Amino acid sequence: MKLKLFLAALLGCTLLNALEESEIDAVMSRDIVKATAILQDKNINDNEKSEKIFTVFDSFFDFNQMATICLGKAQWTTLNDTQKEEFITKFVKRLKESYIEKLKLYTDEKITINKSEKKSAARIQVPMVLSAKDGQTYEILYKFYDTKDSRGWLIYDVDIVGVSIVQTYRSQFDGILKNGTFEDLIKKIDAINIEVQK
């Protein structure tokens, strides 16, 4: 169970500059190694580890896109700019807090990056396999899309053992909004505990 929860922490480990399609495999492999080295460093605490890894991946996760998907297009379009900014802030804060907690579950598992798979002209998936000490393997899929602008390719979702991070959040957010308001969601989001695999 703990190892499966740790998989969620692996959504953060990529890139430094605008990423071109031809660079995805090499850069992902390079920065997974970089993130793993940070996780294995016993001379820094969990908060310092998270800060170091955030500096690696922050600019290559499209948090705005992820937030839009998690909330749903219909709900997103009803929000004004202030509400959108507030939701993104809360959403990113929740992702990072969850990430910090899951860093504690890392125990030197082997991580392998496989060749990227082009799913369409604007979608690429990068499979990563985590090999546990008990012989089990777990696949994580990093989902990239072409922004069609100077930002290059960005991550908009991560599948962990077959479960989408953004769809997991969306399901929970939909449950809150079904009988509540956007303001109710903002009040409750800090207490949401995402379980990507039971």
61 is a domain residue: yes
Going by the DSSP 8-state scheme, the letter that residue 43 receives in this structure is T
CA distance 27 to 12: 13
Tens of pLDDT, residue by residue over 142-182, are 999 999 988 899 999 988 888 898 998 999 899 999 989 99
Long-range pairs, 25-33, Cβ under 8 A, ≥24: 25/113, 25/115, 25/116, 25/126, 28/113, 28/116, 28/126, 28/128, 28/142, 29/113, 31/56, 31/57, 32/111, 32/113, 32/128
CA distance 144 to 152: 10
Going by the DSSP 8-state scheme, the letter that residue 158 receives in this structure is E
Q: State residue 118's pLDDT score.
A: 94
Arithmetic mean of pLDDT, 16-24 = 77
Reference 140, options 161, 119, 115, 166; nearest CA is 161
Q: State residue 58's pLDDT score.
A: 73
Instruction: Print the domain residue range for 151.
Output: 2-191
198 is a domain residue: no
Arithmetic mean of pLDDT, 89-98 = 83
Handedness of CA 33, 94, 161, 60 (dihedral sign): negative
pTM over 0.85: no
For residue 161, the domain's CATH number is 3.10.450.710
71 is a domain residue: yes
Going by the DSSP 8-state scheme, the letter that residue 148 receives in this structure is S
Tens of pLDDT, residue by residue over 39-77, are 888 898 877 887 887 777 777 788 889 999 999 988 999
CA distance 55 to 15: 9
- State which amino acid sits at residue 87: F
Long-range pairs, 134-138, Cβ under 8 A, ≥24: 136/3, 138/3, 138/4, 138/7
196 is a domain residue: no
Number of domains in the chain: 1
Count the neighbouring beta carbons within 10 Å of the beta carbon of residue 12: 23
Strand ranges for 88-190 from DSSP E: 110-113, 117-120, 123-131, 137-146, 153-160, 163-164
**Residues 18 and 146 sit within 8 Å (Cβ to Cβ):** no
